C-alpha cells in the first residue's frame, strides 16, 4: 500500500515536470524560428549587395527573411521615376543630395567619384553576379519581407510613394524589428 | 558516391546554372526542385566554386540527399535526391 502511494506521487511529479519542460521547449522553439532578421542601415552599394546576397541565400534555404531598412539604406529603396509632391525645402535638399536609387549608390571604399561603382557593376556583369535590380526582383518573388523604418523616412524627408514597387513593403518602427529579431534564429546588422 | 557512380546516374532534371554566380545556382536549384518528385535525382551544373559547398549545406538543411559532384573542364556537376 505504501509502495503504491509513493509510485503514484512520483508519476504525478513526473507529469508535472514533463509539462513544465514541454512549455519551456515550446517557448524555446518559438524564440528560435528559422528566420533571419536584418537591420540594414548602410546605404553603400557594397553593403546593400552583401545584405541582398545573404538574404537571397537564406530565402533559398527556406529561411524566412525579414529586412528592416533604416537611415542611409532607404536610398536603395527609392524609385527614380517617382517624384512625390508636397516636400518642404529641407526634404527636397535631402532628396537631391542622396542617391536616387539602388543603382546610384556609392562604394564604402574605392568610390573614386563614381568610378568604383561603375567598375564593380562591370565586373559583376562579367562574373555573372546578379544586378541589384535582379536581386530585389528575386527577393520579392521569394517572399523576403522589407520593412521601412518610418521614423528615419520622416527624418530624411522621404515620402511613402517614392519607394520602389515591392510586394512585401511595409512601414513600421523599432518595436517591429525587435519583435521580429527576438524570434529569429539569425540576427544581423549591416 | 564515386565519380564513376555519379556518371552512371540518370538525372530526372538538369539545372544549368553556369551563367550565374553566388547565390544564383542555389536560387536556380530551389526553383527547380519543385519540378521533380520525391526520390528523383536532380543535377546542377555550376561554374561557381562556392556552390560545391553551398548545395550540400542546403540539402542538409532542407532534407534532400546530397550525392556528390564531379568536375568538368570549366564547371561542376552536382547531384542530389529530392526528399
Distance (Å) from the alpha carbon of B9 to chain A's nearest alpha carbon: 25
The verdict on a CB contact (< 8 Å) between B23 and A129 is: no
Q: How many helices (H) and strands (E) does chain B have?
A: 3, 4
The verdict on a CB contact (< 8 Å) between A129 and B21 is: yes
What does the pLDDT read at residue A185? 92
Q: How many residue contacts between A and B have a Cβ separation below 8 Å?
A: 39
Average pLDDT of the residues of chain B: 94
Backbone angles phi, psi at A63, to 5 degrees: -90, 130
Three cell numbers at A185? 534564429
Domain extents in chain B: 3-81
State the Cα–Cα distance between residues A26 and A32, nearest whole angstrom. Answer: 10
At the fourth CATH level, the homologous superfamily of domain B3-81 is TusA-like domain (3.30.110.40)
Q: Is B59 a catalytic residue?
A: no
State the Cα–Cα distance between residues A26 and A29, nearest whole angstrom. Answer: 5
Residue labelled with grid coordinates 556518371: B7
Could you read off the pLDDT of A29-72 as tens digits, one per residue?
A: 777 889 999 999 999 999 999 999 999 999 999 999 999 999 99
Complex ipTM: 0.79
Contacts of A129 in chain B (CB under 8 A): 20-22, 24
User: Cα angle vertex A40, ends A34, A45, to 5°?
Assistant: 120
State the Cα–Cα distance between residues A37 and A31, nearest whole angstrom. Answer: 13
Indicate the CATH number of A37-67+80-189 among 3.40.50.12280, 3.40.50.2300, 3.30.465.10, 3.40.1260.10: 3.40.1260.10
Could you read off the pLDDT of B6-40 as tens digits, one per residue?
A: 999 999 999 999 989 989 999 999 999 999 999 99
Q: Are strands B65-71 and A184-189 parallel, antiparallel or unpaired?
A: unpaired
The verdict on a CB contact (< 8 Å) between B20 and A130 is: yes
Consecutive sets of 10 residues in chain A, 190 residues long: mean pLDDT of each? Answer: 63 91 83 92 97 96 96 96 90 92 94 93 93 95 95 92 92 91 94
Q: CA of B22: which chain A residue's CA is closest?
A: A129
The verdict on a CB contact (< 8 Å) between A128 and B54 is: no
- In three-state form (DSSP H/G/I as H, E/B as E, the rest C), the secondary structure along chain A is CHHHHHHHHHHHHHHHHHHHHHHHHHHHHHHCEEEEEEEECCCCHHHHHHHHHHHHHHHHCCCEEEEEECHHHHHHHECCCCCCCCCCHHHHHHHHHCCCCHHHCCCCCCCHHHHHHHHHHHHHHHCCCCCHHHHHHHHHHCCCEEEEEHHHHHHCCCCHHHECCCCCEEEECHHHHHHHHHCEEEEEEC
Amino acid at each position: 500500500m505504501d509502495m503504491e502511494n509513493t509510485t503514484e506521487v512520483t508519476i504525478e511529479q513526473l507529469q508535472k515536470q514533463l509539462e513544465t519542460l514541454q512549455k519551456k521547449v515550446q517557448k524555446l522553439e518559438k524564440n528560435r524560428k528559422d528566420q533571419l532578421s536584418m537591420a540594414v542601415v548602410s546605404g553603400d552599394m557594397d553593403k546593400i549587395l552583401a545584405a541582398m546576397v545573404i538574404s537571397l541565400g537564406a530565402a533559398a534555404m527556406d529561411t524566412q527573411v525579414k529586412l528592416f531598412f533604416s537611415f542611409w539604406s532607404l536610398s536603395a529603396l527609392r524609385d527614380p521615376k517617382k517624384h512625390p509632391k508636397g516636400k518642404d525645402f529641407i526634404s527636397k535638399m535631402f532628396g537631391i543630395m542622396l542617391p536616387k536609387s539602388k543603382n546610384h549608390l556609392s562604394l564604402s571604399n574605392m568610390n573614386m567619384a563614381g568610378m568604383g561603382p561603375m567598375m564593380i557593376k562591370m565586373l559583376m556583369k562579367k562574373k555573372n553576379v546578379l544586378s541589384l535590380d535582379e536581386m530585389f526582383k528575386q527577393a520579392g518573388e521569394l517572399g523576403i519581407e522589407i520593412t521601412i523604418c518610418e521614423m528615419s523616412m520622416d527624418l530624411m524627408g522621404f515620402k511613402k510613394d517614392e519607394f520602389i514597387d515591392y510586394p512585401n513593403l511595409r512601414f513600421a518602427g523599432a518595436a517591429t524589428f525587435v519583435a521580429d529579431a527576438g524570434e529569429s534564429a539569425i540576427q544581423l546588422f549591416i | 558516391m564515386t565519380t564513376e557512380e555519379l556518371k552512371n546516374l540518370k538525372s530526372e532534371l538538369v539545372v544549368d546554372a553556369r551563367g550565374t554566380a553566388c547565390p544564383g545556382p542555389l536560387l536556380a536549384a530551389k526553383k527547380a526542385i519543385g519540378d521533380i518528385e520525391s526520390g528523383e535525382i536532380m543535377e546542377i551544373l555550376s561554374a561557381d566554386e562556392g556552390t560545391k559547398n553551398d548545395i550540400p549545406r542546403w540539402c542538409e538543411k532542407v532534407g534532400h540527399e546530397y550525392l556528390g559532384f564531379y568536375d568538368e573542364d570549366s564547371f561542376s556537376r552536382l547531384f542530389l535526391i529530392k526528399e
